[in-house]
């Protein structure tokens, strides 16, 4: 272990999010099994929100085509909503005594949404890819909601209901835009 490597990094280099170091083990009436299950359900959602935030900003910055203004503004709105959800979820993890995202490398360990490093992406493909990613995120948020409910974390289920609704709103906008896109768009 290097001096900069945390004791909470396992031998395979993966960051351990639960149990927290004693100084960060916020007290909770949830059992440690419940808090661990919730932590392990939420942290990948946060990593995915980060990944999708960056992808949405990437497309906001690298957009080309006749719909520039509309999509540029829409992607920014979507990115803002994703960013807001990150802090809300990360602070839920801390309130129940788990630890959350530490770094870009931690995000890459947990993310299930793929990065997009293509040089040029046609605007229509941007909309389609973001729609698919938001669909994937909604599915993951719904599964995490079930985990939180099963483990008595009703505050997080309530929060996730709003976050899921926002994800579905983004998906809806992107899906409807796709109906008007032809392949050369
Ligand atoms: Fe901007």
Q: What is the pTM of this model?
A: 0.92
What is the 9 CA–ligand 1 centroid distance (Å)?
A: 35
Residues 35 and 98 sit within 8 Å (Cβ to Cβ): yes
What is the 49 CA–ligand 1 centroid distance (Å)?
A: 18
Angle, CA of 125, 126 and 129, to the nearest 5°: 80
φ/ψ bin of 13: left (φ > 0), alpha (ψ from -120 to 50), beta (otherwise): left
* Model pLDDT, residue 91: 98
What is the 96 CA–ligand 1 centroid distance (Å)?
A: 35
What is the 63 CA–ligand 1 centroid distance (Å)?
A: 11
What is the 54 CA–ligand 1 centroid distance (Å)?
A: 12
What is the 108 CA–ligand 1 centroid distance (Å)?
A: 24
Residue with tokens 């690298």: 62
What is the 60 CA–ligand 1 centroid distance (Å)?
A: 7
What is the 75 CA–ligand 1 centroid distance (Å)?
A: 9
Angle, CA of 32, 50 and 48, to the nearest 5°: 60
* Model pLDDT, residue 4: 53
Neighbours of 54 (CB within 10 A): 18
What is the 67 CA–ligand 1 centroid distance (Å)?
A: 15
What is the 152 CA–ligand 1 centroid distance (Å)?
A: 39
* Local confidence pLDDT in tens for the 185 residues of the chain: 444 555 577 778 889 899 989 999 898 999 999 999 999 999 999 999 999 999 999 999 999 999 999 999 999 999 999 999 999 999 999 999 999 999 999 999 999 999 999 999 999 999 999 999 999 999 999 999 999 999 999 999 999 999 999 999 999 999 999 998 865 45
What is the 81 CA–ligand 1 centroid distance (Å)?
A: 14
Taking CA atoms, 91 is separated from 43, 60, 114, 158, in Å, by 11, 27, 25, 14
């Amino acid at each position: 272990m290097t001096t900069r490597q945390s004791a909470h990094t396992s031998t395979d280099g993966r960051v351990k999010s639960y149990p927290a170091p004693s100084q960060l083990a916020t007290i909770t009436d949830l059992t440690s099994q419940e808090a661990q299950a919730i932590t392990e359900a939420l942290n990948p959602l946060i990593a995915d929100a980060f990944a999708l935030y960056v992808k949405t900003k990437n497309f906001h910055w690298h957009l080309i085509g006749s719909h520039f203004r509309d999509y540029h503004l829409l992607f920014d709105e979507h990115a803002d909503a994703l960013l807001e959800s990150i802090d809300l979820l990360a602070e839920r993890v801390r309130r129940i005594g788990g630890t959350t995202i530490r770094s870009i490398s931690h995000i890459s360990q947990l993310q299930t949404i793929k990065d997009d490093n293509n040089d040029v992406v046609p605007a229509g493909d941007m909309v389609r890819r973001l729609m698919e990613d938001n669909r994937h995120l909604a599915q993951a948020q719904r599964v995490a909601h079930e985990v939180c409910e099963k483990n008595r974390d009703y505050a997080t289920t309530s929060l996730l209901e709003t976050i899921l609704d926002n994800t579905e709103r983004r998906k809806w906008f992107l899906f409807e835009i796709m109906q008007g896109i032809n392949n050369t768009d």
